[in-house]
Structure 1
């Protein structure tokens, strides 16, 4: 036995010399892991999950190399892998046990598992069927932001803590300007496999807590010279995140072993919140802080600074609902209902009118709907008017809305054509979302506004644009909105003046209903002129179209 031990010692010393180990390495530092065993726990629920448990004598960590190109290091030898190729498939997995000094032993393991998960549409959208390059959507607000990762469903799907709201915001600081040079390339050869490559042009934008990965020590987020790992395999899996199912696609990407998307936060796992042919919103939990989730917006069209987002082209050939106001008298009760009274705190805006359903305030005459605001003492208010809505009668998700209208005039008038999220009673404003197709105030005659209100951007902080329209009180104009999963576009007489980038992190992905009203005074309308007596908004038609 002593003789064998001496031979082993001499052999290990020779190995140590060949491997250029330090002279003072001890024998236990270079002991090769022995008796590597790998056990498998294969699920039978169609999820494709397999739990690998590796164990070897003298091992200090383990590495799993999967056939999709992903590689995972598991110091405790336990790792759960989700195999996503649809059907019953057999895979070969290489398991390596690492000992001190870098010596290894390996084992090839064969696993057969059923997977019912697939997302071929995601692969098609990511790659265009072959290869597609993505870029930072630097021209849109909130293209990088952070929020909580917890069980608060009202906050864990968007950048509730902080976001870069200005286009090309990272260019304002040389320490972060390298970010927009990134190119993110997704490829497939057969519509089933998926690979990823990041071309960072030699530098990447790092979260400050990971500066040391690139050899840096900045107290702030910064760009560092860094070499990306080249092409790597991508696996897709069903999402198990805290984000509510109706606010995410339901697919998670794992980018090889060391892949990341633009901003380095120590993770290679990115959840697809929303995905179209030209826009992608990703969510990733920071590697060293599970309470933080970062959001990145990408585009397949490289933006140029100062150019702004590009309006997508959609067609809406199908008439879903309309009112042509062809029958004189009260509005059609199968299409419209009313808000009555002065609401709470003047409908939340300190408005000074009392809404009624009287013919003095709302009537259909000569092919138009007339909503008339009048100066009169009624139910404790100085003015009356009307507010019609389709709540409970016609609610819809996505489409094109057209309203041909002539607006009232007079300082203090505040007509509006707008939509409110149908779940507002259980998801209070601004959580339910609000889409203002047209607002006008008499003190700014001929200036038309469109605004979106949602968490983080509501009230005075709503996302708004304005345009000048001549003769709004004397000529009928067509006010319209095109609302899709990716954009909300506002028009007057078919001229685009406001473009908003939509995605599943915002509450504009569910049913809304229409509202037509003329308010008086309030936070936007301002003081009512003493000379005002009455004025009407006349509506020729309301039409809602949808895509095929």
Structure 2
């Protein structure tokens, strides 16, 4: 009986100590103060027609990071990388989960270069850039009745190096000030007539979004001699840039309503 009384008394004495210990454990796992602010930095690199953005959280105390990239997609991690293929200003933000709650960063504008601006940079090199027909590839020039069929009139040379010498050496220079220069380097190849007197010319051009297929388009201003790119009998003065890199470009001469289109592969000098 004495043992039972002694055990009960000991339990009563230990109860306050056990409650104090539990409270201490709860306090240890509670976050004191306000939830930390969520913030981030962004770096951008534009390569070709895309921009890669790297997002980095400035507070590393969270256990979950969710990014809103502003284009309808999301990501996670303290650092996240996202590739954008369009331009404009996007709204980006970060949600961070901490032990004591979540925090949403302020929305930050991410300004991306427009596709048209990137194409112009590649076309002109930012100042001045010279292009030539690419005589190292098969079919550097093809002809067709429409955007949907650009090859059925003429499928192009079946082998590389088949362009006439007086056409292969022609140079076409575009400047960032919207100036275009054609240099025949001796003679101009005239469709249906062979090599002829040079038709060297300098004129202006307008640059903007493409009407129909293409990343952008340029329109040469009328001049004497009549300006052209690649072939003398291309329809009109409008050329659409179908694709472009630092070294290669595909141009399409002829509008969507022209009834004939010329596709030309060019290479940077």
* TM-score normalised over the length of structure 2: 0.51
Query: What is the CA-CA distance between 1:140 and the residue it aligns to?
Result: 0.8
Question: Does the C-alpha gap of structure 1 residues 184 and 128 become closer, same or farther in structure 2, counting only changes over 3 Å?
Answer: same
Distance in 1 (CA, whole Å) between partners of 2:166 and 2:244 is: 25
> 1:239 is matched with which residue?
210
Distance in 2 (CA, whole Å) between partners of 1:278 and 1:238 is: 21
> 2:134 is matched with which residue?
137
> 2:165 is matched with which residue?
177
Q: Deviations over 1:96-146 (max 9, x none)?
A: xxxxxxxxxxxxxxxxxxxxx982212210121111111111101111111
Work out whether 1:293 is the aligned partner of 2:261: yes
Matched position secondary structure for 1:240: coil
> 2:195 is matched with which residue?
223
Contact between 1:253 and 1:271, CA under 8 Å: does it hold in 2? yes
Distance in 1 (CA, whole Å) between partners of 2:165 and 2:229 is: 15
Distance in 1 (CA, whole Å) between partners of 2:211 and 2:146 is: 12
Matched position secondary structure for 1:264: coil
Contact between 2:183 and 2:201, CA under 8 Å: does it hold in 1? no
**Structure number with higher relative contact order (C-alpha < 8 Å, ≥ 6 residues apart):** 2
> 1:168 is matched with which residue?
161
Alignment partner for residue 146 of structure 1, among 132, 139, 143?
A: 143
Distance in 2 (CA, whole Å) between partners of 1:118 and 1:255 is: 21
Q: Deviations over 1:426-450 (max 9, x none)?
A: xxxxxxxxxxxxxxxxxxxxxxxxx
Matched position secondary structure for 2:201: coil
Distance in 1 (CA, whole Å) between partners of 2:166 and 2:248 is: 21
Query: What is the CA-CA distance between 1:185 and the residue it aligns to?
Result: 1.0
Matched position secondary structure for 1:263: coil
Contact between 1:204 and 1:262, CA under 8 Å: does it hold in 2? no
Q: Name the larger-Rg structure.
A: 2
Query: What is the CA-CA distance between 1:227 and the residue it aligns to?
Result: 2.5
> 2:182 is matched with which residue?
198
For residues 429-444 of structure 1, the aligned pairs below 5 Å read: none
Find runs of 4+ consecutive structure 1 residues off by over 4 angstroms.
Answer: none
Contact between 1:143 and 1:165, CA under 8 Å: does it hold in 2? no
Distance in 2 (CA, whole Å) between partners of 1:259 and 1:120 is: 24
For residues 405-484 of structure 1, the aligned pairs below 5 Å read: none
> 1:255 is matched with which residue?
220
Distance in 2 (CA, whole Å) between partners of 1:253 and 1:167 is: 27
> 2:238 is matched with which residue?
269
Distance in 2 (CA, whole Å) between partners of 1:148 and 1:126 is: 26
Work out whether 1:284 is the aligned partner of 2:253: yes
Query: What is the CA-CA distance between 1:260 and the residue it aligns to?
Result: 0.8
Distance in 2 (CA, whole Å) between partners of 1:285 and 1:130 is: 26
Q: CA RMSD in A?
A: 2.3
> 1:44 is matched with which residue?
none
Unaligned runs of 5+ in 2: 1-113
Q: Deviations over 1:345-402 (max 9, x none)?
A: xxxxxxxxxxxxxxxxxxxxxxxxxxxxxxxxxxxxxxxxxxxxxxxxxxxxxxxxxx
Contact between 1:202 and 1:227, CA under 8 Å: does it hold in 2? no
For residues 307-322 of structure 1, the aligned pairs below 5 Å read: none
Matched position secondary structure for 1:169: coil
For residues 10-49 of structure 1, the aligned pairs below 5 Å read: none
Contact between 1:205 and 1:262, CA under 8 Å: does it hold in 2? no
Distance in 1 (CA, whole Å) between partners of 2:182 and 2:167 is: 12
Matched position secondary structure for 1:139: coil
Query: What is the CA-CA distance between 1:281 and the residue it aligns to?
Result: 0.3
Contact between 1:184 and 1:261, CA under 8 Å: does it hold in 2? yes
